[in-house]
Amino acid sequence: MAKAPKSATIRTYHVGFGDCFLVSFAYGPTAEKHVLIDFGTTGFPKGVPKSRMMDIAKDIKQRTKGKLHAVVATHRHRDHVSGFATQNGKATGDVIKSLDPDLVVQPWTEDPKLGPKATGPRAGSAKVKTFGAGTSEHIGALSLMHEVAQQSLAARNLPKALRHEVGFLGQSNIANPSALNNLMKMAKNSYVCCGSKSGLEKVLPGIKIDVLGPPTVKQTDSIKKQRTRDPNEFWQFQVGATRLAAAADKNRPLLFPRYAEKSSSRHPVNARWLIYHARTMRGEQLLQIVRMLDKQMNNTSVILLFQIGKKKLLFPGDAQFENWQYALGQKKYQSLLASVNLYKVGHHGSLNATPKSLWKLFKNKSDNKRRPNRLLSLMSTMEGKHGSVYSQTEVPRDKLVHELARKSDLFTTQQLKGKDFFHDTVVRF
């Protein structure tokens, strides 16, 4: 086997709204190393068969000839990990487990041995300066987010538009215990943060891997300030919204029981208009809460940069601005990012997951479609699932898609039709 790969084939799977990428590094005519980056969905377009996720799992098994070398779960959102769930040996996660991966890479926040006040990885869990316990209670806050997400799905009397988005974001942020347990047990885990070793170096000879995210709470104030401002001040003012979210299940504990107000199910006719609008306002508040949960979980996303010779492949999961901010402020990472050849578009093409400061760094983007080494971009997405055109938060964001198509060779899963459910992109080194 060659000391370094000669090429890589990135198989982009059509998982609807979600991510699933199989990166196969070719070291010779018959020698390959396979890395699966995420496997999840929160819904498919109409007409997609119910067997799609299993079809993908079986294709991964066939493509890898029964052996995966590594799995990367960028973060715990359902649209990135639901495919790892198991069920009596017959689910998609069981198929992936059977491929016997050597390593699973996850963000430092997933380490089950971390305490609720941890602000960084444990000593020895990642080869980077050790960050001990602090006062941020970052891990505890992430756990609480799943409880709020679960409550949001119980919300009643919301206008249709709000109900759709609250439901989607709530479903995305619900804990995925089966998938997470499978990831934790299927192989040795490497819990990473910005600047740490990925663990992939031993699995992928001849490839340099830089971990650009997520940062630890102590590495950057951007996540810490956002988190302490929102739960301690913003959530407290939204007690009515969380009370509404829990109303469907009287046995569920409230987040803020001391502040919970009583409500009546019967109202005078002349009060119903006011009550309707009050509920609408609470719905807007609830939507703000679940949007914030979604953003916080995205900011735990792993960002990996693969470097093979002079070629670089960037996979940022769903990392949003606060996650990116730390790496983009480091000159060494700015220099690396400038020469990226392939970019997996962050967060399905959302408004704030491809920061303009990052986009400006890419020197290989060009209006000239015939330019050698023109930037390649891959996007897994689905319209109409997240955000709205009215508020200019639709995913994928139209302006970003236009810029990607103008300045790079863009492939999006929305181009796949009929029975086609994957697309191969080859990068030669």
Share of the chain above pLDDT 70, in %: 67
User: What integer is the mean pLDDT of 56-81?
Assistant: 96
User: What integer is the mean pLDDT of 286-303?
Assistant: 66
Task: Report yes or no: 70 and 104 within 8 Å, Cβ to Cβ.
Answer: yes
Task: Report yes or no: 139 and 114 within 8 Å, Cβ to Cβ.
Answer: yes
CA distance 169 to 276: 23
- Ranges 153-167, 235-249, 258-272: which has the least confidence: 235-249
Share of the chain above pLDDT 90, in %: 55
Report whether the peptide linkage leading into residue 316 is cis, meaning its omega lies within 30 degrees of zero: no
Q: Which residue has the higher pLDDT, 385 or 259?
A: 385
306 phi and psi angles, rounded to 5 deg: -95, 130
Band of residue 402 on the pLDDT scale cut at 50, 70, 90: very high
The CA-to-CA distance between both ends of the chain, in Å, stands at: 16
Q: List, as one string, the DSSP characters of 61-91.
A: HHHTTT---EEE-----HHHHGGG--STT-S
CA distance 128 to 132: 12
CA distance 318 to 152: 22
Provide the whole-model pTM: 0.79
5 phi and psi angles, rounded to 5 deg: -70, 150
Q: Which of 178, 188, 172, 176 is nearest to 71 (CA)?
A: 188
Q: Which residue has the higher pLDDT, 58 or 30?
A: 58
User: What is the token pair recorded at 88?
Assistant: 């009596």
Q: What is the pLDDT of residue 234?
A: 28
- Ranges 252-256, 385-389, 396-400: which has the least confidence: 252-256
How would you classify the pairing of strands 70-72 and 342-344? unpaired
- Ranges 3-7, 200-204, 277-281, 383-387: which has the least confidence: 277-281
Whether 291 has a pLDDT exceeding 90, the answer reads no
Q: What is the pLDDT of residue 243?
A: 41
φ/ψ bin of 79: left (φ > 0), alpha (ψ from -120 to 50), beta (otherwise): alpha
412 SS3 class: strand
Which uninterrupted H or E stretch holds 368? none
Q: What is the pLDDT of residue 161?
A: 63
Amino acid present at 245: A
Q: Which of 78, 65, 62, 99 is nearest to 19 (CA)?
A: 78
Q: Which residues contact 126 (CB under 8 A, 6 or more apart)?
A: 108, 190, 191, 192, 193, 196, 197
111 phi and psi angles, rounded to 5 deg: -60, 115
Helices (H), 256-320: 272-298
Mean pLDDT of the chain: 80
The Cβ-side half-sphere exposure at 326, using a 13 Å CA radius, reads 23
CA distance 199 to 121: 14
123 SS3 class: strand
What's the longest Cα–Cα distance across the chain? Answer: 80
228 SS3 class: helix
CA distance 240 to 283: 10
User: Among positive and negative, which fits the CA dihedral 247, 248, 249, 255?
Assistant: negative
Q: What is the pLDDT of residue 295?
A: 59
Band of residue 3 on the pLDDT scale cut at 50, 70, 90: very high
Task: Report yes or no: 166 and 261 within 8 Å, Cβ to Cβ.
Answer: no
Band of residue 279 on the pLDDT scale cut at 50, 70, 90: low
Q: Which of 310, 371, 355, 362 is nearest to 338 (CA)?
A: 362
Q: Write the burial class of residue 160 (CB in 10 Å: 0-12 exposed, 13-18 middle, 19+ buried).
A: exposed
Task: Report yes or no: 140 and 296 within 8 Å, Cβ to Cβ.
Answer: no
Bridge partners (DSSP) listed for residue 315: 304
CATH of domain 7-226+294-428: 3.60.15.10
Q: What is the pLDDT of residue 154?
A: 64
Whether 96 has a pLDDT exceeding 80, the answer reads yes
Helices (H), 299-342: 321-328, 331-338
User: What integer is the mean pLDDT of 386-407?
Assistant: 85
Name the DSSP letter for residue 118. B
pLDDT digits 0-9 by tens, 174-233 = 667 889 889 999 999 999 999 999 999 999 999 999 999 988 877 875 444 443 333 332
Q: Which residue has the higher pLDDT, 283 or 301?
A: 301
Task: Report yes or no: 32 and 44 within 8 Å, Cβ to Cβ.
Answer: no
Task: Report yes or no: 294 and 347 within 8 Å, Cβ to Cβ.
Answer: no
Name the DSSP letter for residue 126. B
